Amino acid sequence: MEPHAVKVPVTASVPIDCVFWAEDDGWSGACAELSLTVRGTTFEDAKKGMEAALQSFIIDLVQQRKRAA
């Protein structure tokens, strides 16, 4: 049997330190390393927003590298 390659998407979980704090009207979060900030009405909203912002950041970074190659 001949070897063959299979292209499949892989989702990687990468832990990144972020800080979150309560404010009068909700929660804020920041990832200083990547200059990302988010806001949410609850802690869970802010955390989910940060996860989405991080995913978007990484996708944009990969696309930029593909265009540069």
Instruction: Tokens for 60, please give them.
Output: 């944009």
Calpha distance 26→6 (Å, rounded): 45
> Residues 9-37: pLDDT tens digits?
888 888 999 999 999 999 999 999 999 99
Give the range of the structural domain holding residue 24, as residue numbers without chain letter: 19-68
- Tell me if 44 is assigned to some domain: yes
Query: Per-residue pLDDT averaged across 32-46, rounded?
Result: 97
Count of domains observed in the chain? 1
Please give the sequence-ordered ranges of beta strands (E in DSSP) within the chain, or none if there are none: 19-23, 26-31, 36-40
Taking the whole predicted model, whether its pTM rises above 0.85 is answered as no
- Tell me if 6 is assigned to some domain: no
The H or E element containing residue 53 is helix 43-68
- Tell me if 1 is assigned to some domain: no
